[in-house]
Structure formats: structure tokens, C-alpha cells
């Protein structure tokens, strides 16, 4: 097995923390003594922290961040500090009512991004929980459209010489999501026409979801939690049945947590209660409509009540 994991940054976290605390103090004109008093941390400890020699707890970092009126994430984020203009833009977005955020995002995309239709070309992506039917339906629709069918998880496994579960167990979610996004970037850059079935957890990466929405015509393939569970078992995975009640509760919680992200898709296909042939026919109709630009924001449940 050959798996290589690129580290997100070379500088150790204590060093980054120290630099950020020191820079934040300077930006607001706060002395170390004042910060010490407000955060209930000794000056000596703050000096160690700012020099990169301390390893503070989350509770201590939260007190330090609160004392400087900063979000905790600004101190601990993996990425370099955001530009001032980006911080101001984010602050402005946070002041908007929830129902206005989607409108603001569409305005930004239409004003500052290339035409979405050009970027999406003839690519259809399928998102949703395991057991929704993405692989089965995707393969059928790809044949009908005469385009390649790509299972992102299988491509990831081929490129990195390990099963998705092994990568997750050995290196964790961050490595898996980086690999997943790299595969998605490569597929969308090299394949102008395809049906792409994604892993259920791809929406755990906001960057990957944004890439799907920008470079593909995205369809959420969904079903009821009971049908998701039944289809997983039918695929030969009996692990959920060992603790059926707990597994179903976990499945409902996962679906609830992801619904807002899946719901950003350009169209929705509900496969609940439908035979595969009917779902494939409906997905083909949706795909044609998206590719031809005739329709957007399709919800198959609204148009075809079960």
C-alpha cells in the first residue's frame, strides 16, 4: 500500500498561535499585562505562548480570544490569516438575515465568477447519503448520455493504493478530504463531460461542495432514512443491523446535519418508493434539462408527488 499524506503546514501550531496572539495584541493596542488580566493568564505564560513555547488548552485560548474580542478560529485556523477585505466581507455577510445569504452568494458568483454554465460544461455530479442510488443510477444515466461514469471514491482508491476506510483509519478526515478534493479538481479539469458519483461525506468539505456547484450540474439523490439503511444492508453490509436502533438514530442525525449542504444542489431527485428504472428515467430527464439549460432548481418530489 502506498499512501502519501501532504501536511497542511510546516510551522508547528504553537509557533503559529504565538504569532497570531502577538499580532492581534499589536493590532488592537493591548499590552501583555492587560491581556493577562482580562484573560486570567499570567504574563509569564503569555510570554511563553507568544514565543511558541507553550501548548495552551482550548479553554485558555478561548479566554485569550474573548479578551481580544476575536473569534477563537482566528487563532487556531490551519490557514494563514485572512486579508482584511475578506474579514470585512465575512462580517457584512454575517449581518444578513439567513434568507438573504443565498441571494448574496448568487450575486457574488454572477458578478465575480466566470459564467457557471461554461465551467460546468457537460458534467453531472450526484451527492447524497450512501444507499441513495448514486452509483446505480449514475452508471445508467452516463450510458444514456454517452459520457464516462466516474465514482470519485474508486478513483481516489486507485490513485492512492488504499481503500477509503483505510485512508480514514490511518490518516483521518483531513487527509481523506484533501485527497477527495484533489481527485475532484482533476476530474473536472480533465473531463468536460461525465456523470460523477461522490461519496456521501464530500459535503463535509465546504471547498469541495463549492467546487461541485461551480464546475458541475449537481443533483441531490435522496431517499428516506429507512430506505438508505435497507439499501446498505442489501449491498452486503450488515454492520448497521448489529445495533439497529442506534444505527438508525445515527443515520437520521447524519442526514439532518447534511441536508442544508445537500440542499444547495441545482436539482433534487427523490428515489423513495421508486423502482430503479423509474428513478433512472427521472434522473435522465433532470440531467438533460440541466445540460440544455432549460431548467434549474428542479425538485422531482415537487413535480411528481409519490
This prediction's pTM = 0.70
Phi–psi pair at 296, nearest 5 degrees: -150, 160
Please say whether the beta carbons of 272 and 133 come within 8 A: no
C-beta of residue 86 within 8 angstroms of C-beta of residue 173: no
| Residues 6+ positions from 163 with CB-CB distance below 8 Å | 157
Q: Work out whether strand 122-127 and strand 193-197 pair parallel, antiparallel, or are unpaired.
A: parallel
pLDDT tens string 87-109: 788 888 888 888 888 888 878 87
Query: Euclidean distance between the first and final Cα of the chain, in Å?
Result: 47
3-state secondary structure string, 217-273?
A: EEEEEECCHHHHHHHHHHCCCCHHHHCHHHHHHHHHHHHHHHHHHHCCCCEEEECCC
Strands lying side by side in the sheet with 193-197: 149-151, 193-197, 122-127, 217-222, 267-270, 298-299
Tens of pLDDT, residue by residue over 211-236, are 999 999 999 999 988 888 888 777 66
Helix (H, G, I), strand (E, B) or coil at 197: strand
**Domain spans, the chain:** 13-81, 82-109, 113-303
What is the pLDDT, as a whole number, of residue 85?
Answer: 83
Q: Quickly name the fold that domain 113-303 has.
A: Rossmann fold (3.40.50)
> What pLDDT does residue 14 have?
76
What pLDDT digit, counting tens, does each position of 228-280 carry? 888 877 766 644 444 566 778 888 888 888 888 899 999 999 998 899 999 99
Fold of the CATH domain 13-81: 434 Repressor (Amino-terminal Domain) (1.10.260)
Q: Considering the chain, what percentage of its residues have pLDDT values greater than 90? A: 40
Sequence-distant (6+) residues with CB within 8 A of 144 are 284
Amino acid at each position: 500500500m502506498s499512501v502519501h499524506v501532504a501536511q497542511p503546514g510546516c510551522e508547528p501550531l504553537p509557533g503559529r498561535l504565538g504569532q497570531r496572539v502577538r499580532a492581534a495584541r499589536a493590532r488592537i493596542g493591548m499590552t501583555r499585562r492587560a491581556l493577562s488580566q482580562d484573560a486570567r493568564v499570567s504574563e509569564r505564560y503569555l510570554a511563553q505562548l507568544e514565543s511558541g513555547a507553550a501548548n495552551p488548552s482550548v479553554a485558555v485560548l478561548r479566554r485569550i480570544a474573548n479578551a481580544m474580542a476575536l473569534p477563537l478560529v482566528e487563532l487556531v485556523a490551519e490557514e494563514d490569516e485572512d486579508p482584511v477585505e475578506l474579514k470585512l466581507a465575512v462580517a457584512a455577510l454575517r449581518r444578513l438575515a439567513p434568507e438573504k445569504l443565498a441571494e448574496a452568494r448568487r450575486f457574488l458568483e454572477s458578478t465575480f465568477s466566470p459564467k457557471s454554465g461554461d465551467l460546468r460544461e457537460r458534467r453531472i455530479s450526484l451527492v447524497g447519503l450512501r444507499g441513495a442510488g448514486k452509483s446505480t443510477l449514475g452508471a445508467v444515466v452516463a450510458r444514456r448520455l454517452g459520457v464516462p461514469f466516474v465514482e470519485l471514491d474508486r478513483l481516489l482508491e486507485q490513485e492512492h493504493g488504499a481503500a477509503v476506510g483505510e485512508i480514514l483509519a490511518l490518516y483521518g478526515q483531513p487527509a481523506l478530504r484533501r485527497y477527495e478534493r484533489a481527485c475532484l479538481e482533476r476530474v473536472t479539469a480533465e473531463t468536460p463531460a461525465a456523470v460523477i458519483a461522490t461519496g456521501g461525506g464530500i459535503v463535509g468539505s465546504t471547498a469541495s461542495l463549492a467546487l461541485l456547484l461551480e464546475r458541475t450540474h449537481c443533483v441531490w439523490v435522496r431517499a428516506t432514512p429507512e430506505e438508505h439503511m435497507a439499501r446498505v444492508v442489501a449491498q452486503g453490509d450488515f454492520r448497521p443491523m448489529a445495533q439497529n436502533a442506534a444505527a438508525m438514530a445515527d443515520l437520521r442525525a447524519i442526514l439532518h446535519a447534511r441536508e442544508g449542504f445537500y440542499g444547495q444542489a441545482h436539482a433534487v431527485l427523490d428515489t423513495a418508493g421508486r423502482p430503479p428504472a423509474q428513478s433512472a428515467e427521472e434522473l435522465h430527464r433532470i440531467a438533460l434539462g440541466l445540460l440544455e439549460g432549460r431548467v434549474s432548481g428542479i425538485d422531482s418530489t415537487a413535480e411528481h408527488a409519490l
